[in-house]
Amino acid sequence: MHPSTFHPADLIPLPGYARLRTVGSFEELASTSFGAAVNSGTGFQPVDQVHRLEADATSSRPGINALCWPRSLAGDFGEIVTQLGAGEGVEAHDETRLEALALSPAGAAARAILLADLQLLRDRGLAPELNVIHAYPRDAADALVTTDVHSFHADSAPAEAATWLCTYHGRPSDGLRNEEARRRVDVPATRAALLRDYGGPDDAGFREFLREHHYDLHYAPEPGAQPFSFGLGHLWRIALDWPGSAVPPCLHRAPLPLPGDPPRLLLIS
């Protein structure tokens, strides 16, 4: 493992976090439903301890919203990234490109895993992408609410769906417990600034304004929050925000790159 990618929270599962369930196979990962109540008595805070200014209710609905298939993958994924070459931004690579790489046995082992994972997801009717991430677009530093992927956020969809992801190389994604999060639009100073920008009252139109700009999908960690790492090699299926979801979405972010970090190699669907 690259030294810069080690994270002490790579230990899965997280003791006492009842929204996360680990599974033992891809089949179990794909077939387990979100929302099954697993209240160990340690994973949830009473609702009245959750700071919210309006009833977004995301923190009050119990149930699993993150499924993880922990894996220890053999193979040199760094070699894959190196062989795919320099670039910028987010670059998607398909099987044809992978198969054309000249690799050592360790690199070939990594490639076989990537091809198998892509096939597993395609066989489920999904459209996975294998991305090498040199850098993500960033919001301006003075944005009222940061809405880039380095901010904790919920993915969203108009109908039932889930996000699948695995980091093979580079810094893994981070997660944030719903009970340790607060919507950025519910922070009074932020909401006041957004209202000034909107130029109207705090009404249905304002809430639509928040939705249009995706402001309402972004979350701030509460003081003392302890984000966790999605780790390397583990395949995750996480709940997103869609109408009718039984559980709050799993909050996550792309890690901020540190100087010298290698590009990330990420499977996402």
Binding residues vs Fe ion (CB under 5 A):
155
The two tokens of residue 110 are 């990594």
Nearest CB to Fe ion, comparing residues 179 and 241: 241
Work out how close the CB of 247 gets to Fe ion at its nearest, in angstroms, rounded to a whole number: 16
Please give the Cα distance from 32 to 174 (Å, whole number).
Answer: 22
Q: Is 255 exposed, middle or buried (0-12, 13-18, 19+ CB in 10 A)?
A: buried
> Residue 79, Cα to own-chain centre: how many angstroms?
24
Nearest CB to Fe ion, comparing residues 117 and 155: 155
Nearest CB to Fe ion, comparing residues 98 and 268: 268
Strand segments, DSSP code E, in the chain are: 20-22, 66-69, 90-93, 129-133, 162-169, 174-176, 181-183, 219-221, 228-229, 235-239, 251-253, 264-268
Nearest CB to Fe ion, comparing residues 79 and 155: 155
Strand partners, 133: 90, 264
Nearest CB to Fe ion, comparing residues 44 and 215: 215
Residue (of 217, 253, 236) closest to 34 by Cα position: 236
Work out how close the CB of 66 gets to Fe ion at its nearest, in angstroms, rounded to a whole number: 13
Please give the Cα distance from 183 to 46 (Å, whole number).
Answer: 18
Nearest CB to Fe ion, comparing residues 50 and 149: 149
**Inter-residue contact 71 to 235 (CB < 8 Å):** yes
- 218: number of CA atoms within 13 Å, CB side? 22
DSSP secondary structure letter of residue 61 = S
Residue closest to Fe ion (Cβ): 155
**Residue found under tokens 């700009």:** 213
Work out how close the CB of 230 gets to Fe ion at its nearest, in angstroms, rounded to a whole number: 11
